[in-house]
Each structure stands twice: as structure tokens, then as C-alpha cells.
Amino acid sequence: MDDTLGTLIDEPGLPGMPASAPAARNVATPYRVLARKYRPQTFDDLIGQGAMVRTLANAFQANRIPQAWMLTGVRGVGKTTTARILARGLNYVRPGQPDTGPTVEMPELGLHCQAIMESRHLDVLEMDAASHTGIDDVRSIIDGIRYGPVSARYKVYIVDEVHMLSEKAFNAFLKTLEEPPPHAKFVFATTEIRKVPVTILSRCQRFDLRRVEADVLSEHLKKICTAESVEAEAEAVAAIVRAAEGSVRDALSLLDQAIAHGAGAVSAASVRDMLGLADRGRVVDLFEAAMRGDIPAAFGELRAQYDSGADPGIVLSDLAGFTHLVTRLKLVPEAAAADPSLSDVERTRGAEFAQKLSVRALSRAWQILLKAIPEVQAAPRPLAAAEMALVRLAYAADLPTPDEALRSLRSDVGSGAGPGSEGGGRPLPAPRASLPDSPRPQLSAVQGGGAMPRPAPSPETVVAASPQPQAPRLGRFEDVVALANERRDITLKIALERDVHLVRFEEGRIELRLGQGAKSSLPVDLSKALQQWTGRNWLVSVSREAGAPTLAAAARELEENRHRDAASHPLVREVLARFPGAQIVDVRDKAQDTAADIAEMPPPPDAMGEDEVDDDA
């Protein structure tokens, strides 16, 4: 450890923070990144891990020291650093003072502290399990554990990223880990606790290192900026804290990069430019435009943020974050308003949106954005994908909930009109705007990269302009089945084909026999559907007569006859004989297929005469 770090440890206050620079230096000290320069040196320097420090202090004081600890947590919360501090506390001895045993109180450098923090102590062995995964590496630990420590109180083995060990290596650890010698202690660190076998976890005392809260991390970064004589705006620090997501190392790395990016000054604009973020106030403006249904304004705001360097995926992520904030302000306003990472714009305007928007609209907006973020990240044109996500958000955020739609459908059925039908069914109510005094625009042709709004026609205009459809003429039972298929009533169509034996048919009256397994309500359903589709009353009665075969049975019989006729053809018999295992899959009428193909062809030029058409085509 260099002279600077030695001075920092002796000074109280922020870990690794010098009170003054050394008087003179003959050789320029190489630059050390902030994440290493301000690495915690004692338990007091650890931020956000008070529960673990309190547990260790009580264990040391009561002499209830386990043989192994398991430290887990996300990246950058201090697992390896905590392991070294723990090894230092286990072997702490003040110079010139009697040995008082392990402690968490380390006011000054002990006899072994310097070497432990520099990872060069003979009795504190560190192993990176990511590069030493095999059983031979574990066997070397097992062979050396029988020997006592050279100079320290305990022999401490620190295994980082322990989840990378192989299955055989874990199994070799079991016996030694359960009954190690009294002088041996193990400290494991991992980010993937689920990959560690339960047989190992059951032999360790586990500590889950928490993400550092936003207010604690903000204060930590402000102290470091003061120590480094760097001017940092509060909004810039808040942006770094949000991007770090509770990781101290990530926060310090971003702060280091922001200082270099801003040439010694950390401003909100430079941090946004560095991270590809959008201005928080502009994100709120984009949210307002989307929830108001103002597609041109939303497109314009997104394009402006994109031109200023913001990534479309990050913009949608910030939009989702603000949606979550508004939801929290609506449900738990006290807890959400106390968040120190929020800007004044987010806090004030978020509270306004929380009063205007419903939980239903916010929940649906969250779902749309959550699905759109990975789509934008994977899209070849992220800006276009983000614009389409805004369209979905503007037009679908205020759709009725399933229970509202069900109530509307039930009211339609109760009034005798089918929902969404063309034969006079009452349409669903138009969606309400999420924000008041904001009419929903209608999309027309896309011009200049944005959707141009057009005024929505009034219901009276639509009714006057729409021609009234003619009632269909049904001359046979097959026409009824075709009409059911045309109106997309597939359930009724299948029932008519499979379960109905027709006895008599005339327009306005159907007499039938129900097949085995048919629904008893089928005649009533058919009568209601025909009344709705044709606009006249139909009498559907059930008869005891046998009636004709069902349409499905007749179709099967016709298909079987066609297959038998085809199989009896000499050419087909020859083909089946030459290719064993071949089967007749389908039989088609060549004349009908030819007529259909000719009907789909474009009209011939005027110069072509009728005699030029090939009759054998």
C-alpha cells in the first residue's frame, strides 16, 4: 500500500480521504480510481451494512465466532472488501498493547492490518474461484489448513466468487468446512447465491449485503466530491445514484468518469450526455403528451431527445420509471415524496399526475412500457420502435378493464343486440381520455415521420354516411352455415355442421333433429342469431324424424367417395404400385381450380383475342 493510503487509514472521517497532501514527492504518484482510493478500511467505513456490522460486533464480544461466513449481494456492495476487513478484525492486535481477541473496533493500524489490506499476509489467503475452479485448488487449501498460522491469530481463507467452483471441489470442501481446525476461518463471497450447494450454505453463517439506499449513497458521493475539490450539481449526483442502482463501486466509477467528462466539474447536462440519458423534465413532458393522447407532441419530444443524444431505450426506461413514481405517489405519497433522488420537477408534477390519472391507466401504461423496452433494445431501428410504443401507450392506456368490457357486453346482449355485430349491434363506448380536456386524435397517413391528426367524425355523421346493409337471402340450410362463418360465429357454425340433422327448411322456418352430444340450447341460439343477422323472426323447431345426415358426415362421405374413385383410376393405381407407402392425400377438381385461377388473373390486353386463350391451361 502506498504512502497515501497509509495516511488515509490513520485519518478519521471518510475512508481513504487524506487530510492534506504529503509535503513533498520526488516521484509522481500514479492515479488511483475513486473506487480503490476510497475503499473502506474498517467496519465503520462500510455504508448501508449496519445489520451485519452489529451482528459481527456482538459475536466477537460474546466469543461466538463461527468457522465460516458467506457474503452475498449484487456487484459493488463490498463483499470482497468486507471479507478483508473481517480478516483484519479477526487478527487485530494494536502495537504495544496486549492481545484482546477479535474486535470490530480498529482505531489505528494493527500489526497485521497493512499486510492484510494489501493482500500479502501469509496467514490470510485469497483465492479467486473464477480462475481456480477445480478440485486440485481446493486440495491445496485442505493440505495446508492443518498447519497453524505463522504470525496472526487465525488463518483466514477468502474465496471470492465461490459459486464458480466445480461440483467435485464443493464436495471436497464439505468435511473440512464443517470441522476445521480451531485456527482456521473461511470467508466466502458470491453474487450467485443460488448456485452454491445447500450443503455448503448450511455450514456457513450467511450475510446478505444490501444495496445502498439512494440517500446514503448520495451523501457518500457528495463527501467524496468535497474531498476531491469537485463541484457537483445535486441533479447530477442524483442521476449517478439512479444509474448505480445501489452499487457503491458503480457509483464511484460513474463519478470518476463524470469528473473526467466534465473537466473537473460534474453537471447534470454532462452526466446526461455521458450516460445517454434524457432530461428528467423532458421525460415528464413526454409522459404528459403520451397520456394526453397528443401523438404529434410525443413524437416531437422523443425526436428532440434523440437528437440531443438520448437513447430511445433509456428514454422508455425513464418513462416507465416515472410511471412507477406516479403510481407510488398515488398509493403511498408519503414514502415516495421522501425519496432524495427525485428532482423538484418529478416530485411536483408527479403529484399532479397522481391526482388526475387512475390506477387502471397507470397500470396499463406500465405494462405497455415494460414490454416495449426489450423490443426497442432489440429493434434494428430503435427510434421507430419507440415511436410505435408511444402510439400503443397513447391509444391503449385508457382502454376499459375486462370487467368493464364484460359489463358492456352483457348490457348489449340484454338489449337484444349482439356486441360489435354488423346487424345493428350497439358499439362499445369510446375510450375516455386519460387526462381531462384532451381529445383522442385519429391517425391518418404518416407524413414526415409522424402521425398527422385528423378530427374524429361525430356519431351522427358516421350513421348518415354508412350505407345500411341488405338483409341476406337464405334459400337453403348451407346458406345459414355460410352466414355463420361470415359473421365469425365459429362455435355456431361448427355446431350446425356437426350436430344438426336437417328435416325441413324454408325461409323463416327450420325443422331439425339434434345429434348425440349437441347442446339443448342450439335451436334457441340459432333463432336469435338469424333474427339478428336477417332482421326477421325465424322459427326453429326440434323434430323426432331422422332427417338428413349432418353436413360434416356428408362431407366425409363425399371425400371418401372421391378418394375411392381416384384410387380406382389406372394411372393412380400404377403410381401407388411403383411407390410403396404412398397415400392419396387430397383429391381436387381440376375444372374448378382452373376456373378459380382464371378468375384471379388480371384482365388480358385489348389486343388479345378470345382465340388466343389456351383452353387446356
Amino acid identity, position 538: W
**What pLDDT score was predicted for residue 20?**
41
The rounded distance, in Å, linking the Cα atoms of 323 and 393 is 12
Measure the CA–CA gap between 434 and 422, rounded to whole angstroms: 29
Q: Tell me the pLDDT tens digit for each residue of 350-392.
A: 888 888 888 888 988 999 999 999 999 999 999 999 999 999 9
- At the topology level, CATH places domain 40-208 in Rossmann fold (3.40.50)
Lowest mean pLDDT among 294-298, 334-338, 593-597: 593-597
Report yes or no: 197 and 203 within 8 Å, Cβ to Cβ.
no
Exposure of 448 in the CB half-sphere (CA atoms within 13 A): 6
Per the CB < 8 A criterion, the answer to whether 329 and 350 are in contact is yes
Give the range among 71-75, 351-355, 430-434, 482-486 with minimum mean pLDDT.
430-434
CB 252 within 8 A of CB 83: no
Model-level pTM greater than 0.85? no
Determine the Cα–Cα distance for residues 485 and 478; give it in Å rounded to an integer: 11
DSSP structure class, residue 509 = E
pLDDT of res. 11: 40
Taking residues 229-255, report their average pLDDT: 87
pLDDT of 496-543, one tens digit each? 888 888 888 888 888 888 888 888 888 888 888 888 888 888 888 888
Residue 579 banded pLDDT, cuts 50, 70, 90:
confident
Q: Which residue has the higher pLDDT, 109 or 344?
A: 109
Q: What is the structure's pLDDT at 611?
A: 42
The pLDDT of residue 199 is above 70 = yes
**What pLDDT, on the 0 to 100 scale, is given for residue 546?**
82
Mean pLDDT, rounded, for 136-147: 88
* Domain 40-208 shares a fold with domain 276-396: no
Residue 85 has pLDDT above 50, yes or no: yes
Contacts of 38 (CB under 8 A, 6+ apart): 14, 15, 16, 17, 224, 252
CA–CA gap between residue 76 and residue 82 (Å, rounded) = 11
**Spatial contact of 214 and 186, defined as CB atoms under 8 Å apart:** no
Please determine, for residue 13, whether its predicted confidence score (pLDDT) is greater than 70. no
**Per-residue model confidence (pLDDT) at position 454:** 44
Higher pLDDT, 451 or 581: 581
Residue 285: other Cβ atoms inside 10 A: 19
For residue 608, the tally of other CB atoms under 10 A from its CB is 10
Write down the domain spans for the chain: 40-208, 276-396, 470-602
d(CA 289, CA 298): 5
CATH class of segment(s) 276-396: mainly alpha
**pLDDT mean over 559-578:** 81
- pLDDT-derived band at 156 (thresholds 50, 70, 90) equals very high
Would you call 451 helix, strand, or coil by DSSP?
Answer: strand
For 437, phi then psi, to 5°, come to 60, 40
